[in-house]
Amino acid sequence: MSYFGNVDKIKYEGKESTNPLAFKHYNPDQVIFGKTMREHLRFAVAYWHSYTYGGSDPFGANTLVRGYDKFTGMDLAKARVEANFELLNILGADYFCFHDRDIAPEGATLQETNKNLDEIVALIKSNMKTSGKKLLWNTANMFTNPRFVHGAATTNNAEVYAYAAAQVKKALEHGKELGSENYVFWGGREGYESLLNTDMGLELDNLARFLHMANDYAKEIGFDAQFLIEPKPKEPTKHQYDFDAATTLSFLQKYDLAKTFKLNLEANHATLAGHTFEHELRVARINGALGSIDANQGDCLLGWDTDEFPTDLYSTVLAMYEILQNENGIGRGGVNFDAKVRRTSVDPIDVVYSHIAGMDSFARGLVVASKLLEDRALENFIDDRYDSFKTGIGADIVAGKANFKTLEAYALQNNPIVTKSGRVEVLRTVLNQYILNA
């Protein structure tokens, strides 16, 4: 059975191609800085957007009719597994990601739910074996079911906390079973609506306890995935605790979790927090915490998480510019398309087109960023801009040899202060030239 219209594996045809079912920029075997594009980018398909999402919005029902929609329950879950491996093969993407509740339906009890999951995980495992496809990360959905209305690890209800722990325990076991390279915690409903009813201190202490227990259990069962936290400032709760990279890092540091966690950063979450994607990547990178990315984009005219496929080349170039400068690039992480087709893109083939658009945009971002770095197009300017810290009083500051008295003595005799231009417009023109010509 084909769910995407018997499409052949997408090939690289180069930038002159007009074939919508071809890559114009993603050439998996092209080597850049000693690694192939495939190794740099480690593309992943997100189960929830590609197979589970049906196109509904707050005003309308599902619009995306798929071949597997004729099934229900476990039959539907099995058909989606088939669709997943078909799409990965078409795209030549090596990885996929899922929430536990994306892959199997909940039963009447936790026992039944876990049984459903075990069966689908076994099916996924056998498909991974025959196809060579891999799991980039798995996670637990602790936000859809009404039991999580007050949160999961930050709930006011210890019964829910215990249920959430049981759910993550199972997800860690499945991560191990499938050889997942990472495990993600996105704080679905870990936040609050109103301080009038919230004990913020207890909720955050409990969240840290939860993450320590997860670490301990992963160690106990020998699951050596990289743990990742995915920050998001709002939606579904008004104020999410893992607001952005900086907030999340300070939480991890306070609770002695910084050594075992890195960050999974998402472009649209960055913009919701009032940051650019590259800002979030930079904050993580300079703290040794850039683990993986959720590739998508928002709409600057809308204030919510639209999860569009990434096509903005400025953003993909600057994202890849950070990733290329990260120690070991994206490392064990990858470029996961946490992105969905618009509800007006109703055909199954749109899922293929949209991934091609995202993969090409990131491949182009990779090429342009590598040229920028190779030519030191920005670095030479940045080096020069901080020149004052290389000699004299600046060198003393950097070496920790200055104090307020020596700095005052310097300031008193240094008159006038000379200011250099930041040249932002010139640098933006340079960036444009690279995007157009690299």
Q: Of 94, 102, 242, 360, which one is the catalytic site residue?
A: 102
Q: With binding defined as CB under 6 A, does residue 139 bind ligand XUL?
A: yes
Which one of 190, 242, 280, 338 is in contact with Co ion (CB under 5 A)?
338
CB nearer to Co ion: pick between 338 and 360: 338
Q: With binding defined as CB under 5 A, does residue 294 bind Co ion?
A: yes
- What the block records as the tokens of 160 is 């829910």
Q: Which of residues 235-274 bind ligand XUL (CB under 6 A)?
A: 266
List phi, psi (to 5°) of 343. Answer: -70, -10
Q: With binding defined as CB under 6 A, does residue 338 bind ligand XUL?
A: yes
SS3 224: coil
Where do we find the tokens 């605790």?
241
Strand-strand pairing, 43-46 and 335-337:
parallel
Asked about 205 being catalytic, the answer comes back as no
Which one of 266, 280, 305, 322 is in contact with Co ion (CB under 5 A)?
266
For residue 96, what is the enclosing H or E element?
Answer: strand 95-99
For residue 227, what is the enclosing H or E element?
Answer: strand 226-230
Q: With binding defined as CB under 5 A, does residue 100 bind Co ion?
A: no
Cβ 426 to ligand XUL, closest distance in Å?
Answer: 36
Cα 240 from Cα 190, distance rounded (Å) = 6
Residues, the chain: 438
CB nearer to ligand XUL: pick between 330 and 431: 330
Binding mask 183-222 for ligand XUL (x = CB under 6 A): -x-x------------------------------------
Stretch that binds Co ion, among 169-177, 252-260, 291-299, 344-352 (CB under 5 A): 291-299
Q: With binding defined as CB under 6 A, does residue 278 bind ligand XUL?
A: no
Residue number with the shortest CB distance to ligand XUL? Answer: 186
Q: With binding defined as CB under 5 A, does residue 244 bind Co ion?
A: no
Cβ 305 to ligand XUL, closest distance in Å?
Answer: 5
Which amino acid, residue 301?
L
CB nearer to ligand XUL: pick between 293 and 323: 293
Helix spans in 48-109 (H): 73-91, 100-103
- What the block records as the tokens of 19 is 């074939």
- What the block records as the tokens of 174 is 């499945």
List phi, psi (to 5°) of 199. Answer: -100, 85
List phi, psi (to 5°) of 137. Answer: -160, 155
Of 136, 135, 173, nearest to 293 by C-alpha is 136
Cα 407 from Cα 427, distance rounded (Å) = 32
Q: Of 40, 49, 99, 355, which one is the catalytic site residue?
A: 99
DSSP string covering 338-368, please?
-----TT--SHHHHHHHHHHHHHHHHHHHHH
SS3 263: strand
Asked about 102 being catalytic, the answer comes back as yes
Q: With binding defined as CB under 6 A, does residue 181 bind ligand XUL?
A: no
Cβ 230 to ligand XUL, closest distance in Å?
Answer: 5
CB nearer to Co ion: pick between 44 and 317: 44
Which one of 242, 305, 322, 360 is in contact with ligand XUL (CB under 6 A)?
305
Contact residues toward ligand XUL (CB under 6 A) are 99, 139, 184, 186, 230, 232, 266, 294, 305, 338
Catalytic residues: 99, 102
